[in-house]
Amino acid sequence: MTQSVFRAQLLTFTGDPAQSPDAAQFHEDGVVIVEDGQVAASGAWSALKERVSDGAQVHDMRDKLIVPGFIDTHIHYPQTDMIASPAPGLLPWLDTYTFPTERGFENEAIAQDTAQFFVDELLKSGTTTALVYCTVHKQSADALFTASEAKNLRMVAGKVLMDRHCPEFLRDTPQTGYDDSAELIGRWHNKGRQMYALTPRFAPTSTEAQLEACEALAKAHGDIFIQSHVAENLDEVKWVKELFPRQRSYLDVYDRYGLLRRRAVYGHCIWLDDEDRQRMAETGAVAAHCPTSNLFLGSGLFDFDKANESQMPVTLATDVGGGTSFSMLQTMNEAHKVARMGGHHLTATRMFWLATAGAAQALDLADKIGTLAPQSEADFVVLDPKATPLLARRTARAESLEELLFAFALLGDDRAVFETYAAGARVHSRESA
């Protein structure tokens, strides 16, 4: 059996570092041994060097840090080219930039070209798994899955469902949305490493009939993902109240249609109340906190203390193109500051967990990704502490793992990503990019 062997500093997790001080496992001189695209073993070099086969090539990266591949739990690939488009808040931003841009994805060539660039941009940032919104056009989802499959990435994506309150040219119907989603589930869900996410954009753009169609699809396919937006912006919350006067809250609309469960991931979750958070925790639905987007669009500040109290699952996400960076390191940077604004100290160690093992656990994928544990799919990132002169000077003074990770989170971006591996294969190299 061919082995690939990576000798480096290593970080992996056995649990949430906020719950248990030993959950972050760091090896100053560590090794990851990969066989058949999976981690065969990882840990201290001194303990594992005997497992290295004769003749196996050992990649010596002792000046670098290997961490599990980053997981971005909420991102829109069709918004790649409109990232950094200025608008006074969410709803005008959707009308002015987002919907016109998404119209282009009826054209297969645009979808394919953007999907390829998008996937490369993820890998350049060290993101090996993402939950991706496509457009309303089913060919946009085919383009994304095709680009991801070509690199053998574990990717979750879905065609957007929208049958009202958007331009005519982006509308499906309850029936076509159902049929297209069912067809895409059949074609892509669990095909290799691809997985499907049922994707009603948000409550305002779906009729009750469309939400009922979602309920039926979710029931028929218990292991698919569900993704949507909730409680992002106060104008949006007010609008949902007018559209669904019988529901107790915005989140309750999704609850009403059976869309709160494990593997259901809701972007933003800023304006939830305690009862909503309780429901998220009870059902296992996951919050995707998108700090760069929330600050950029002025949506609000995610409440880490309330999230922790309720024990609802929380993950980190970029929300490109509402988000302003593909980098999960930059996302950590802003997550830390959002938490600070709420008087909460979010450690870098916990942010690395949230972006890797914590996300995998929340998404019910912990047996496959998120750590360097044996039998995991070998998705990992090689980070360079000397990526920039400033990072080199700061990391040289780091006196603890937390300080090292904090420097990466606050100062790092795609320049800090030396290489990215998916299922044991190198899918990005900074030097040859």
Residues within the interface to Zn ion (CB under 5 A): 267, 319
**Nearer CB in complex with ligand GUN: 202/326:** 202
Q: Which residue is nearest to ligand GUN (CB)?
A: 322
Residue 200 site contact among Zn ion, ligand GUN, none (CB < 5 to 8 Å, cut-off depends on kind): none
User: Which of 309, 297, 239, 229 is CA-nearest to residue 273?
Assistant: 309
CB count within 10 Å of CB 155 equals: 25
Judged by DSSP in three states, 430 sits in coil
Which residues are CB-neighbours of 89 under 8 A, at least 6 positions away? 233, 235, 297, 298, 299
Reply yes or no: is the peptide bond before residue 323 cis, omega within 30 of 0: no
Based on CB atoms, which residue is closest to ligand GUN, 320 or 391? 320
Q: How many CB atoms lie within 10 A of CB 220?
A: 10
In the block, tokens 């060539």 appear at: 109
Indicate the residue type of 15. G
List of E strands, 78-150: 127-133
42 vs 324, beta carbon nearer Zn ion: 324
H or E stretch covering 351: helix 348-354
Is residue 168 packed enough to be buried (19+ CB in 10 Å), middle (13-18) or exposed (0-12)? exposed
Question: Which does residue 201 touch among Zn ion, ligand GUN, none (CB within 5 to 8 A, set by kind)?
Answer: ligand GUN
Q: Which residues are CB-contacts of 95 (< 8 A; sequence separation ≥ 6)?
A: none
In angstroms, what is the minimal distance from the CB of 164 to ligand GUN?
A: 13
98 binds, among Zn ion, ligand GUN, none (CB under 5 to 8 A by kind): ligand GUN
Q: ∠407-412-414 over CA atoms, to 5°? A: 160
Binding site for ligand GUN (CB under 6 A): 76, 90, 94, 98, 201-202, 229, 232, 293, 319, 322
**Could you tell which of ligand GUN, Zn ion, none binds residue 202, using a CB distance below 5 to 8 A set by kind?**
ligand GUN
Cβ nearer to Zn ion, comparing 204 with 267 = 267
Residue 235 CB, shortest distance to ligand GUN, in Å, is 11
Indicate the residue type of 402: E
Q: Residue 317 or 411: which CB sits closer to ligand GUN?
A: 317
- The listed partner (ligand GUN, Zn ion, none) that binds 232, CB under 5 to 8 Å by sort, is ligand GUN
Q: Which of the listed partners (Zn ion, ligand GUN, none) does 102 bind, with a CB threshold of 5 to 8 Å by partner kind?
A: none
Closer of 292 and 371 to Zn ion (Cβ): 292
Which of Zn ion, ligand GUN, none binds 263 (CB below 5-8 Å, type-dependent)?
none
CB of 329 to ligand GUN, least distance (A): 20
Say if residue 201 is exposed, middle or buried (CB neighbours under 10 Å; 0-12, 13-18, 19+): buried
For residue 314, the minimal CB distance to ligand GUN (Å) is 17
Q: What are phi and psi of 100, to 5 degrees?
A: -60, -40
Considering the complex, state which of residue 27 and residue 201 has its C-beta at the smaller distance from ligand GUN: 201
Tokens of 14: 């056995």
Phi, psi of 55 (to 5 degrees): 85, -10
The radius of gyration of the chain from alpha carbons, rounded to an integer in Å, stands at 21
Closest distance to ligand GUN from the beta carbon of 202 (Å): 4
CB of 294 to ligand GUN, least distance (A): 9
Residue 414 near which of Zn ion, ligand GUN, none (CB within 5-8 Å, type-dependent): none
- Of residues 34 and 162, the one with the C-beta less far from Zn ion: 162
Q: How far is the CB of 378 from ligand GUN (least distance, A)?
A: 32
DSSP conformation class of 95: I
